[in-house]
Amino acid sequence: MSSELHFVLLLVLRMAVAAAFVVSASIITERSGPVIGALIATLPISAGPSYTFLALDHDAAFIAEGALSSLPVNAATIFMGLTYVVLAQRFSMWISAGSAIALWLVLGTIIRQFAWTLAGGLILNAIAFAICIPLLRPYRHVAKMPLIARRWYDIPLRAALVASLVGTVVTASTWVGPRVTGVIALFPIVFSSMMLILHPRIGGPATAAVLANSAWGLLGFGLGIAVLHVAVLQFGSPIGLCCALATCVAWNLALWQIGRRKSGKA
């Protein structure tokens, strides 16, 4: 078997595994109800497979530097979410989602120009979330959330988007280096797919409410990226990836517990 064919087959296999992961997560989300479903939806569904496969091809230093580049990009994602949430109250999906994604691309390009430190990435996230979370608060609730009826192409679309992202990240990582790879790996596939799938079906305000409620989960995802950077350097890629995932899971469980206590008091 030629080296080119081996690479292509391995890439297709990795994309298929990533797609299967997304399909499984989507099915569990739909069958678990809104609370558990929200916890699953805010886990690293797209970035997780990307970094896992990168760890198979690159050393711990590459993963650590990639995570360092990914950390400030998380701040760009929350601004993207805020942009969509505000625009979706009045405008169509194409204007709202298009403007939000365009903003992410601009911010991602700007972020890529700098050599970030862990402290710098954490500070940028702290500032971004301190600005965006209060601004998102008025949009977290709608008078009545419409029922979401899944269509046949919903899960295949999400799976195809994540598989394409994984294929792009794995293929380009050798040529573009860890800094650019870290930016690409955090392209907000989950947010984008939610905009494209939900907005035409349940309307802008209801879709905006879903994204507005994900802000705290996204903050925990940023902490997971920071843990990945530190843990990979100390313990290697396998343990580092597990620590990052554990951070995201623990954060979401804490949010769930806090939500239960608030609802119980109400």
Residues 209-228, mean pLDDT to the nearest whole number: 92
Count of the separate structural domains present in the chain:
1
**Is residue 106 one of the residues assigned to a domain?**
yes
3-state secondary structure of 142: coil
214: left (phi over 0), alpha (psi -120 to 50) or beta: alpha
Q: What is the pTM (predicted TM-score) of this model?
A: 0.84
236 Ramachandran zone, left/alpha/beta (phi>0; psi -120 to 50) = left
Share of the chain above pLDDT 70, in %: 81
pLDDT at residue 137, rounded to an integer: 92
CA nearest to 113, candidates 180, 189, 159, 48: 180
What integer best gives the mean pLDDT of the chain?
83
5-9 mean pLDDT: 54
Does residue 146 sit within a domain? Answer: no
Question: Which of 202, 248, 215 is closest to 46 using CA atoms?
Answer: 248
Q: Is pLDDT larger for residue 255 or for residue 10?
A: 255
| Residues 6 or more apart whose Cβ sits within 8 Å of residue 231 | 239, 240, 243, 244
For residue 198, the model assigns a pLDDT of: 79
CB neighbours of residue 125 within 10 Å: 24
Q: Note the pLDDT of residue 167.
A: 77
Helix (H, G, I), strand (E, B) or coil at 91: coil
The answer to whether the CB of 81 falls within 8 A of the CB of 218 is yes
- Domain span at residue 120 reads 3-141+152-265
Distance CA 155, CA 144 (A): 25
Assigned domain for 147 exists: no
Whether residue 25 lies inside any domain: the answer is yes
Rounded-to-integer distance, Cα 223 and Cα 20, Å:
26
Average confidence (pLDDT) over 146-163: 71
Domain-located, residue 224: yes
